């Protein structure tokens, strides 16, 4: 028996008894002293006869009832009394069997008894006799038990021994279970052997149900065997386990270090024959001595066949490129195009569990010339190298090699070729037509037909002397909604991107997919938006399009909860916030690269705690040029007033002022909300045009709807002829505005970007030859 804390019995009904030892002695001494004092100060000796010693009495106060069946962890309590003295100690003994069935020698001799001064004892009893199998929650468990008798006697301070009290009971337990966890079971075990390597690592874990399956602890010890497999093995192990006793290893403590307690390697010391069937079996034992009595190929038997493996399965991940798998040595690898300056962060894991191997190390290197030369790799093979140092390239073709090796020396090599988009930037301007439409019949000027929108922008672009309609246009609709290739973007110094708010996973404006910001952890593959890289390299952007509801720069927020306005991008990416506990939005293109702090809408989901809003009140009547910004003050040619096209606002049409005015507008850094959150605009944000609302008392009146962003305005790209300049954004489609005023805006932007512009008759001729356009005022 083992004395320890009880695991599965309740506390006693009464408190522990305390023997009358020192207290009784002090009481007798006090009585004696009183008697001496009562007799006066006589010098006569105290005379009398020594009385006979009465034996103490002991009885059990709590514990298993006589003949009870209980769990194998038991707790006994007792009380003792000695009427003419004090109890000195108790002696306990536990034997297997009941008072009739146990061997008398078990309680003969003082060495069989355990001495204690306590009045309770928690005991772990053996329960190693198989009783039966029971089904609990559709699972089969072996039940083990054993009968024991507990003896207790008291000894007083003069050596007298009480009569022995005893209690017989039966301790039981459920047999422990053990599960092979490695190699993973990849197929139905009834369909045949798994293919493992010639040296296979097995791992397992054990659960020991104490009295119910859900009340379990760790197993005490384990043992294992391996042998040639036969189809009758599983049945015979369960029916006749004694036949296999000579094949088992010794019992190992569950936490024994190394090759024993929870894992072992088969094939390092044992001779296995390739393509032959073997069985590996694990058995567990609990602290009551019960052993696993149920053997199953789904739990503790693994049927396997040794083989020479292909190699570990290597999985490589990069947040923007996604994940890809490699097996064995395949030099074809994966290939990706990335923009210059793109920061690549590769991570990897490998798994050899399908064949019982263990990954022993990884190494990697960029542009490795000789795979057999350790000096060409970035590091030596190491099991803890699970990522590469973040890497950036600005030109060329580069290959990342990643090697995973198992404990047999078998390796898998993954190769990833990265082509850095060449920076050409020899052409002046590219128009990306990302505002798909159709040739619908009715025209209330709510939305342009495809041909109308094409003609509008073609007339603007034909003012650029070197613009070629045959090669300087990328139509997303005509390209089946595929995005503009990155290598196309880097051929141009300047890019104009016009978009709609239409979003569809397969169709719609690609802008909404491109600018969507997916922070790490929000998706298996992050969205690669190459526009910030183009800006950072010194390219210039003119972006414009539908700005109402979820369109415009608000498309950076992929979560619907973030589509609530006004929106402090840095802190409200995932929804309205008052404490800025989540600053995910700081990584969006709108905040980081376009320098916008707040996005606001005429039409959208408006926060309930901001001033009352309405389309009739907040709609755009016209726009005025910024008067105070120092960057805008240095630019020439911009009209002071930008009005809606008279066709758009005609009576009865969609944007008739009598029906609420123009609302396809997105606004930026609106002062009333900036004041509420106590923020100022970023230094790289420069308003260009401000809205004049339908009612000048609107909180949106005189708020920015177009702006320059200058975070990268000082960068000069390396190709000859490139210049440093800011980029510009309009929060509404310019197709809805006065043609002559829009032409003036385009010329002014082209001048800032130093794009040669055709004037007067030359522009008219170019337009008439390409689009058949009428003079500016009639377009």
- Tell me the pLDDT tens digit for each residue of 628-673: 999 999 999 999 999 999 999 999 999 998 887 899 999 999 999 9
Within 10 Å of residue 118's Cβ, how many Cβ atoms? 12
Distance CA 394, CA 332 (A): 24
Please tell me the predicted confidence (pLDDT) of residue 215: 79
The per-residue pLDDT for 49 is: 59
Q: Percent of the chain at pLDDT above 90?
A: 59
Most confident of 473-487, 550-564, 697-711, 751-765: 697-711
Res. 322 pLDDT band, cuts 50 70 90: confident
Assess whether pLDDT exceeds 80 at residue 769.
no
What pLDDT shows up at residue 209? 83
Tell me what the mean pLDDT of segment 715-725 comes to. 95
Query: Residue 42: pLDDT above 50?
Result: no
The 3-state DSSP class for residue 594 equals coil
* pLDDT score recorded for residue 69: 85
Tell me the C-alpha distance between 643 and 648, whole Å. Answer: 11
pLDDT band at 771 (very low <50, low <70, confident <90, very high): low
Residue 478 has pLDDT above 80, yes or no: yes
229-246 mean pLDDT? 92
- Predicted confidence at residue 561, as pLDDT, reads 76
Calpha distance 227→237 (Å, rounded): 12
Q: Region 215-228: what's the mean pLDDT?
A: 90
Q: What is the pLDDT of residue 408?
A: 86
Across the strands, what pairs with 281? 225, 301
pLDDT, tens only, 168-212: 888 888 888 899 998 888 778 888 888 888 888 899 999 888 777
407 touches 365 (CB < 8 A): no
> Using the 8-state DSSP alphabet, how is residue 748 labeled?
H
Taking only the tens place, the pLDDT of each residue in 143-164 is: 888 888 999 999 999 999 999 8
CB-side exposure of 500: number of CA atoms within 13 Å? 21
Q: At what angle do helices 450-461 and 739-752 cross, to 10 degrees?
A: 50
pLDDT tens-digit readout, 339-398:
999 999 999 999 998 888 899 999 999 999 999 999 999 999 999 999 999 999 999 999
pLDDT of residue 101: 61
pLDDT of 562 above 80 = no
587-602 tens-digit pLDDT: 999 999 999 999 999 9
pLDDT for residue 506: 66
Task: Kindly indicate the confidence band of residue 102, based on its pLDDT and cuts at 50, 70 and 90.
Answer: low
Q: What is the distance in angstroms between the CA of the first residue and the CA of the last residue of the chain?
A: 102
Mean pLDDT within 745-772: 81
The answer on pLDDT for 233 being more than 70 is: yes
Average pLDDT, the chain: 87
Query: Roughly what angle, to the nearest 10 degrees, separates helices 450-461 and 760-770?
Result: 150
Residue 226 pLDDT > 80: yes
- Strands 492-499, 473-475: pairing is unpaired
**What's the CA gap between 525 and 518, in Å, rounded?**
8
Number of residues that this document lists for the chain? 779
Strand arrangement of the beta sheet that strand 347-351 belongs to:
322-327, 313-318, 347-351
Q: Is the separation of the CB atoms in 371 and 401 below 8 Å? A: yes
Q: Tell me the C-alpha to C-alpha distance, in Å, between residue 38 and each of 44, 240, 246, 285, 623.
A: 13, 83, 82, 70, 119
Q: Is the pLDDT higher at 499 or at 562?
A: 499
CA gap 731, 667 in Å, rounded? 6
What's the rounded Cα separation, in Å, for the pair 362 and 401?
Answer: 11
């Amino acid at each position: 028996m083992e004395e320890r804390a009880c695991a599965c019995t309740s506390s006693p009904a009464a408190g522990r008894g305390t023997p009358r030892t020192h207290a009784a002695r002090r009481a007798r001494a006090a009585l004696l002293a009183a008697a001496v004092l009562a007799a006066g100060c006589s010098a006569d000796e105290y005379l009398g006869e020594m009385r006979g010693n009465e034996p103490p009495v002991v009885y059990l106060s709590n514990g298993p009832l006589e003949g009870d069946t209980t769990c194998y962890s038991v707790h006994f309590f007792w009380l003792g009394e000695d009427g003419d003295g004090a109890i000195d100690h108790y002696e306990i003994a536990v034997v297997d069997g009941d008072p009739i069935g146990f061997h008398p020698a078990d309680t003969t001799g003082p060495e069989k008894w355990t001495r204690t001064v306590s009045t309770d004892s928690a005991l772990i009893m053996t329960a190693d006799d198989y009783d039966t199998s029971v089904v609990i929650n559709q699972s089969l468990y072996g039940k083990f038990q054993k009968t024991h008798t507990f003896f207790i006697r008291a000894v007083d301070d003069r050596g007298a021994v009480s009569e022995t009290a005893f209690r017989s009971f039966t301790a039981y337990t459920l047999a422990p279970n053990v599960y092979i966890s490695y190699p993973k079971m990849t197929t139905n075990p009834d369909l045949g052997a798994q293919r493992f390597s010639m040296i296979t690592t097995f791992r397992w874990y054990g659960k020991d149900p104490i009295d119910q399956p859900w009340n379990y602890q760790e197993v005490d010890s384990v043992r294992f065997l391996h042998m040639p497999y036969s189809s009758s093995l599983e049945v015979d192990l369960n029916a006749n386990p004694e036949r296999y006793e000579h094949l088992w290893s010794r019992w190992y403590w569950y936490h024994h270090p190394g090759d024993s307690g929870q894992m072992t390697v088969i094939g390092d010391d044992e001779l296995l024959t390739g393509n032959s069937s073997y069985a590996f079996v694990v058995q567990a034992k609990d602290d009551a001595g019960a052993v696993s009595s149920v053997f199953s190929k789904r739990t503790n038997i693994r049927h396997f066949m040794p083989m020479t493996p292909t190699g570990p399965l290597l999985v490589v991940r990069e947040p923007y490129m996604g994940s890809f798998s490699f097996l064995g040595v395949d030099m074809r690898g994966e290939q990706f195009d990335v923009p210059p300056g793109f920061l690549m962060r590769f991570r990897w894991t490998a798994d050899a569990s399908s064949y019982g191997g263990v990954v022993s190390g990884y190494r990697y290197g960029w542009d490795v010339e000789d795979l057999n030369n350790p000096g060409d790799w970035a590091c030596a093979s190491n099991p803890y190298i699970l990522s590469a140092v973040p890497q950036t390239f600005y030109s060329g073709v580069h290959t990342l090699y990643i090697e995973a090796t198992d404990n047999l020396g078998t390796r898998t090599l993954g190769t990833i070729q990265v082509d850095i988009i060449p920076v050409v930037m020899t052409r002046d301007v590219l128009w990306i037509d990302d505002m798909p439409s159709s040739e619908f019949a009715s025209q209330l000027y709510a939305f342009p037909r495809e041909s109308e929108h094409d003609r509008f922008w073609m007339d603007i672009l034909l003012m650029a002397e070197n613009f070629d309609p045959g090669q300087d246009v990328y139509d997303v609709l005509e390209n089946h909604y595929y995005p503009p290739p990155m290598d196309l973007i880097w051929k141009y110094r300047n890019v104009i991107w016009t978009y709609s708010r239409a979003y569809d996973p397969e169709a719609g404006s690609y802008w909404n997919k491109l600018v969507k910001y997916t922070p790490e952890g929000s998706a298996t593959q992050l969205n690669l938006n190459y526009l910030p890289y183009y800006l950072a390299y010194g390219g210039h952007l003119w972006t414009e399009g539908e700005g109402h509801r979820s369109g415009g720069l608000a498309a950076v927020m992929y979560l619907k909860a973030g589509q609530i306005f006004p929106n402090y991008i840095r802190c409200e990416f995932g929804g309205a916030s008052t404490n800025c506990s989540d600053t995910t939005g700081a990584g969006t293109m709108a905040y980081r690269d376009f320098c916008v702090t707040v996005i606001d809408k005429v039409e959208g989901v408006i926060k309930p705690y901001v001033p009352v809003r309405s389309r009739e009140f907040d709609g755009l009547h016209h726009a005025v040029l910024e008067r105070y910004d120092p960057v805008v003050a240095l630019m020439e040619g911009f009209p002071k007033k930008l009005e809606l096209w008279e066709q758009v606002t005609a009576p009865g049409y969609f944007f008739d002022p009598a029906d609420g005015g123009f609302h396809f507008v997105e606004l930026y850094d609106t002062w009333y909300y900036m004041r509420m959150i106590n923020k100022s605009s970023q230094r790289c944000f420069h308003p260009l045009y401000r809205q004049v609302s339908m009612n000048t008392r609107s909180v949106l009146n005189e708020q920015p709807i177009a702006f320059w962003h200058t975070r990268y305005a000082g960068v000069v790209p390396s190709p000859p002829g490139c210049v440093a300049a800011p980029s510009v954004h309009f929060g509404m489609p310019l197709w809805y505005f006065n043609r002559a005023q829009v032409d003036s805006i385009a010329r002014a932007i082209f001048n800032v970007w130093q794009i040669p512009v055709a004037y007067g008759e030359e522009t008219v001729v170019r337009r008439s030859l390409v689009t058949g356009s009428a003079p500016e005022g009639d377009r």
